[in-house]
């Protein structure tokens, strides 16, 4: 999502296939935030890991466009 040209959040379908949408904040001023980097060929890297506390309880990283399960 963009606000005045700046990204402030991202959403993705949970990679486990449960059908839930995972929404993550990219705003540095909030306690729980993530950093998104896109490489030269469009592959995302997201840090830190994503750990769903409810539902499917998936825990994963996205590195160079690849899901890496914990």
Q: Give the number of domains in the chain.
A: 1
Q: Can you say how many angstroms the Cα of residue 31 is from the centroid of all Cα atoms in its chain?
A: 15
Judge contact between 55 and 20, C-beta under 8 A: yes
CB atoms within 10 A of CB 68: 10
Residues spanned by the domain of 45 = 2-69
Judge contact between 51 and 45, C-beta under 8 A: no
CB atoms within 10 A of CB 56: 13
Model confidence pLDDT, tens digit, residues 27-64: 988 889 999 999 999 999 999 999 999 999 999 999 99
Give the tokens for residue 8: 């402030």
Model's pTM, two decimal places?
Answer: 0.83
């Amino acid at each position: 999502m963009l606000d005045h040209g700046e990204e402030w959040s991202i959403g993705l379908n949970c990679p486990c296939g449960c059908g839930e949408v995972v929404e993550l904040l990219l705003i540095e001023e909030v306690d729980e935030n993530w950093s998104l980097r896109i490489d030269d060929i469009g592959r995302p890297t997201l840090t830190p890991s994503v750990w769903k506390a409810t539902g499917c309880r998936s825990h994963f990283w996205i590195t160079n466009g690849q899901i890496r399960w914990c």
